[in-house]
Chain A
Amino acid sequence: MTTYDLTATPLREVNTALHAPELEGDITIVNPFGAHNVAVGLNAPVKVTVEGHVGYYAAGMNQQAEIVIDGNAGTGVAENMMSGTVVVKGNASQSAGATAHGGLLVVEGDAAARCGISMKGVDIVVGGNVGHSSAFMAQAGRLVVRGDAGDGLGDSIYETRIYVRGTVASLGADCVAKEMGPEHLEELTGLLKAAGFTEDDPASYTRYGSARSLYHFHVDNTGAY
């Protein structure tokens, strides 16, 4: 177990160490005090635990690593993640999982606005609520919200599938409720399980996705712009 104290070691040194080729084992980072860019650009099958709240872009562009943030995360946690797992024990600020291509992001608390914005294949599971404009321009991947979703959910959505257990304040352009088939229930069950939520009844969720009516510019759709 390697421990880095961000009050003693400069962030740049910590990130450089975490980029070492053939990195192995478990790593703990303490005293982040809201620092930005903690554990960004990792590319190794290691486990990193951050004890405390982090600022922006924690675990940004993560590959392979399992990163647990024992606290809250600022803007853009796990942004552009490619693979691996990121777990936020507390709440996440805006743009959680932004543009991420793969892996799993779990926010056990609430995520704020723009959760999953422009997501490109990541799976995001939020234990609580998500804020407005979540899944904006979401292209691929799955978003699960155990709580409520704010205004404009899935505005301009492409092929991402969204599952919400609570209420949706309003749906964005071209985002509609869709039927839950057995394959969706199975998918949702798998996602919840992967995120550590096993008591939910998947049938209590509503599925949302693209109506695909904005896939080609058409004069009749101008009201949506």
Chain B
Amino acid sequence: MCGIVGLHLRNPDLHPRLGELLSGMLCEMQDRGADSAGVAVYGDPTWTPPGHGAVSLLDVTATAEEVAAAVTEELGSPVAVKVLDATYLLTAAAESEALLAAARAAVPDALVAGFGADLAVLKGVGHPRTLSDSWGLAGAQGWQGVGHTRMATESAVTPSGAHPYAVGVDQCLVHNGSFSNHATIRRELRAAGVEFDSENDTEVGARFVAHQLAQGKDVEVALKELCATFDGFYTLLVSNRDSFAVVRDAIACKPAVIAETDDWVAMASEFRALAHLPGVESARIWEPEPEVIYAWTRSTEGASA
């Protein structure tokens, strides 16, 4: 039902190539799903200028100018709006949470696809290659990106159905597989005040992790909790501003491959998405073990697993 990819660049010299490499990885996964796709890019200076908060919106009917004006008024400081296919990317010299609150108030019918400092989340309907082109993904820069190609099942193929689900500040989650007891967990989260945008099982996983993180737990603990709580087969890639983590369920039927060099760490559903990364010939390539959390952070060397 899905292909997932993730790239975490350790070597700043490669940052200018993030979009090019991520685009290649994403399009290689199009056979796993070609109805819709989503990417999250951390650190593109054009999309998300440094020091600015960013919010990605979907399902917006107004024009960019109208949205910019409305949110600027709400925030009290200038808000820029870029339209990338179906995504409206809002940026302002403010905390992303403040920008988010202003966007929610000014454009209440829009769907929030993601928010954070340096985080651009783009989602859309259509073939991954077409979307990648219309986003201009190949020209994007940054230190980290995740992507998802979707084999849609719902009758309305919508941009919001694609992953990543970015439901906490700077957080993204992409998922290959299928949870089987998420309906109950959704009810529990709702009872705790969490709101949902869709009936999608992945969204439950994403909001569960975000809920854990919001309670002060770190991503490894959050993912351990997820493994203990959710039934299903899943490979998850969870990214934060400073971290990149991969985990598989105990039975581990859904595919996952990780490759690592001194310059980058990459993860994908299938090796062929990694096959063209620079230096992959000498990369350490392995499959994550079930229920082991593999995490990389920006400030440390090597994986903590």
The answer to whether A and B touch directly, with their CB atoms under 8 angstroms apart, is: yes
Write the residues of chain A forming the contact surface with B, with a CB cutoff of 8 angstroms: 33-36, 53, 55-56, 72, 74-75, 91, 93-94, 112-113, 131-132, 150
Write the residues of chain B forming the contact surface with A, with a CB cutoff of 8 angstroms: 252-253, 255, 257, 270-276, 285-287, 289-290
Q: How far is the CA of A85 from the CA of B253 in the complex (A)?
A: 26
Are A112 and B276 closer than 8 Å at their CB atoms?
A: no
Residues of A within 8 A of B287 (CB): 93-94, 112-113, 131
Q: How far is the CA of A166 from the CA of B275 in the complex (A)?
A: 32
Residues of B within 8 A of A112 (CB): 287
Question: Known contacts A93-B257, A93-B287, A112-B287; is A74 also within 8 Å of B271 by CB?
Answer: yes
Residues of B within 8 A of A56 (CB): 270
Question: Known contacts A93-B257, A112-B287; is A34 also within 8 Å of B252 by CB?
Answer: no
Question: Known contacts A75-B255, A113-B252; is A34 also within 8 Å of B290 by CB?
Answer: no
Pick from B252, B272, B273, B289 the residue with the most CB of A within 10 Å. B272
Question: Known contacts A55-B270, A113-B252; is A91 also within 8 Å of B275 by CB?
Answer: no
The A interface is mostly helix, strand or loop, or mixed, namely: loop
From B253, B271, B289, contact of A53 by CB (8 A): B271
Nearest to A75 among chain B residues (CB) is B255
Residues of A within 8 A of B289 (CB): 131, 150
Are A55 and B272 closer than 8 Å at their CB atoms?
A: yes
Residues of A within 8 A of B290 (CB): 113, 132
Are A74 and B275 closer than 8 Å at their CB atoms?
A: no
Additional 13 contacts, C-beta under 8 A, given A34-B271, A74-B270:
A33-B272, A33-B275, A34-B272, A34-B274, A34-B275, A55-B270, A55-B272, A74-B271, A75-B255, A91-B285, A94-B255, A132-B252, A150-B289
Nearest to A90 among chain B residues (CB) is B285
Can you list 6 residue pairs at the A/B interface with Cβ under 8 Å?
A: A34-B270, A34-B272, A74-B270, A93-B287, A132-B252, A132-B290
Q: How far is the CA of A94 from the CA of B251 in the complex (A)?
A: 12
Residues of A within 8 A of B253 (CB): 94
Q: How far is the CA of A36 from the CA of B273 in the complex (A)?
A: 12
- Nearest Cβ in chain A — how far from B122, in angstroms? 26
- Nearest Cβ in chain B — how far from A69, in angstroms? 12
Pick from B257, B271, B274, B275 the residue with the most CB of A within 10 Å. B271
Residues of A within 8 A of B275 (CB): 33-34, 53
- Nearest Cβ in chain A — how far from B73, in angstroms? 51
From A33, A72, A113, contact of B276 by CB (8 A): A33
Residues of B within 8 A of A91 (CB): 285-286
Residues of B within 8 A of A132 (CB): 252, 290
- Nearest Cβ in chain B — how far from A13, in angstroms? 18
Are B252 and A72 closer than 8 Å at their CB atoms?
A: no
Q: How far is the CA of A74 from the CA of B257 in the complex (A)?
A: 9
Q: How far is the CA of A55 from the CA of B271 in the complex (A)?
A: 7
- Nearest Cβ in chain B — how far from A79, in angstroms? 14
Q: How far is the CA of A7 from the CA of B289 in the complex (A)?
A: 32
Q: How far is the CA of A103 from the CA of B255 in the complex (A)?
A: 26
- Nearest Cβ in chain B — how far from A119, in angstroms? 18
Are A72 and B285 closer than 8 Å at their CB atoms?
A: yes
Q: How far is the CA of A113 from the CA of B256 in the complex (A)?
A: 12
Residues of B within 8 A of A74 (CB): 255, 270-271
Residues of A within 8 A of B257 (CB): 93
Q: How far is the CA of A132 from the CA of B252 in the complex (A)?
A: 9
- Nearest Cβ in chain A — how far from B227, in angstroms? 15
Nearest to A150 among chain B residues (CB) is B289
Residues of B within 8 A of A34 (CB): 270-275
- Nearest Cβ in chain A — how far from B184, in angstroms? 25
Are B271 and A72 closer than 8 Å at their CB atoms?
A: yes
Q: How far is the CA of A59 from the CA of B252 in the complex (A)?
A: 23
Pick from A34, A35, A131, A132 the residue with the most CB of B within 10 Å. A34
Q: How far is the CA of A131 from the CA of B289 in the complex (A)?
A: 8
Q: How far is the CA of A150 from the CA of B251 in the complex (A)?
A: 12
Nearest to A52 among chain B residues (CB) is B275
- Nearest Cβ in chain A — how far from B233, in angstroms? 12
Q: How far is the CA of A94 from the CA of B288 in the complex (A)?
A: 11
Are B272 and A35 closer than 8 Å at their CB atoms?
A: yes
- Nearest Cβ in chain A — how far from B25, in angstroms? 11
Q: How far is the CA of A131 from the CA of B288 in the complex (A)?
A: 11
Q: How far is the CA of A201 from the CA of B290 in the complex (A)?
A: 32
Pick from A33, A72, A131, A150 the residue with the most CB of B within 10 Å. A33
